[in-house]
């Protein structure tokens, strides 16, 4: 398996080495890496067999950060790190070309198709969440999904398994908030979902949207202030996953802030 860690270029070499040693101790077998420096960032390519069997990289980032809770500079550098998986060997070879020094952007999108097995659908979303320290350290997840409560009975197993994985990755998550149009609220479905989530230690809160403001499915993670949220955008409703082609990607920070402001103005005043 091939993985990539992107960090700020001015991150100190001793901190990076210390972090990689920490990861090696946590993640174990066949762990090796190579560092490539570009214009503004360092890329760390990591090869590992069954690297995330017991622990994901975001958990390693969080544990390592806790070692430096009184060192603000080191905490900031680690908090800014991002982690992802590389599936295309040609992209890997291109990125590892030592003669390439132009600014580059890493593609972070994933596509879910009608051919994607259910377990892989869960993995795509879970990997996106688990690869961002800014997501797994939050206590609330707000989802704008007009048709979330129109799930069918056969969709429940996917919903249950997805949130089981999410709650395992994001150990601080306590509350799921759904923004639902008033005309698409179904009490019986809400009660079934509430019971399912309660068994995982998650509370469910419903916000009714009389204006039906949101078309896309935004997943926003935050603690007390939604304006500090980070998130994903998913191209279909929870009950549409695997039925048509849909994109899963991170929300741009400016877009996330704009959406969060609208939600706060409309529903949190």
Q: Quick one: CATH architecture of 110-267?
A: 2-Layer Sandwich (3.30)
Residues carrying CATH 3.30.870.10, the chain: 110-267
Residue 11 is predicted with a pLDDT of 66
Contact, 136 vs 172, CB < 8 A?
A: yes
Residue 48 is predicted with a pLDDT of 54
Residue 146 is predicted with a pLDDT of 94
Q: What CATH code would you report for 2-95?
A: 3.30.70
Residue 94 is predicted with a pLDDT of 43
Residue 55 is predicted with a pLDDT of 55
Residue 237 is predicted with a pLDDT of 93
Collect all residues with Cβ–Cβ distance below 8 Å to 170 and sequence separation of at least 6: 129, 135, 136, 137, 138, 141, 221
Distance CA 41, CA 54 (A): 28
Distance CA 269, CA 263 (A): 10
Nearest 5°: CA angle at 221, between 7 and 41?
A: 10
pLDDT digit string (tens) for the chain, length 269 residues = 556 666 666 666 777 777 777 777 766 555 666 777 766 667 776 665 444 444 555 566 666 666 666 666 655 555 555 555 544 444 444 444 433 333 334 446 788 999 988 888 888 888 788 767 567 778 999 999 999 999 988 889 999 999 988 888 787 899 999 999 999 999 999 999 999 999 999 999 999 999 999 989 999 999 989 998 989 999 999 989 999 999 999 888 889 999 999 999 999 87
Residues carrying CATH 3.30.70, the chain: 2-95
């Amino acid at each position: 398996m091939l993985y990539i860690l992107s960090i700020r270029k001015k991150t100190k070499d001793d901190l990076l080495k210390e972090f990689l040693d920490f990861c090696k101790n946590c993640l174990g077998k066949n762990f090796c890496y190579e560092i490539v420096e570009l214009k503004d960032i360092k890329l760390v390519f990591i090869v590992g067999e069954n690297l995330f069997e017991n622990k994901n990289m975001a958990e390693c980032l969080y544990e390592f950060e806790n070692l430096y809770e009184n060192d603000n500079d080191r905490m900031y550098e680690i908090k800014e790190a991002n982690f992802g998986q590389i599936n295309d060997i040609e992209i890997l070879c291109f990125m590892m070309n030592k003669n390439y020094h132009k600014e580059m952007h890493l593609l972070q999108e994933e596509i879910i198709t009608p051919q994607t097995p259910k377990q892989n659908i869960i993995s795509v979303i879970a990997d996106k969440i688990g690869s961002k320290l800014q997501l797994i350290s939050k206590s609330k997840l707000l989802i704008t999904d007009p048709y979330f409560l129109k799930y069918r009975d056969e969709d429940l197993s996917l919903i249950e398994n997805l949130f089981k994985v999410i709650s395992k990755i994001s150990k601080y998550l306590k509350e799921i908030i759904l923004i639902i149009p008033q005309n698409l609220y179904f009490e019986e479905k809400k009660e079934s979902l509430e019971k399912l989530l309660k068994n995982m230690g998650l509370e469910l809160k419903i916000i009714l949207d009389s204006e039906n403001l949101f078309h896309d499915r935004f997943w926003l993670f935050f603690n007390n202030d939604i304006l500090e949220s980070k998130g994903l955008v998913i191209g279909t409703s929870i009950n549409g996953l695997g039925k048509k082609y849909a994109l899963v990607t991170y929300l741009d920070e400016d877009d996330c802030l704009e959406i969060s402001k609208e939600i706060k103005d409309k529903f949190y005043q």
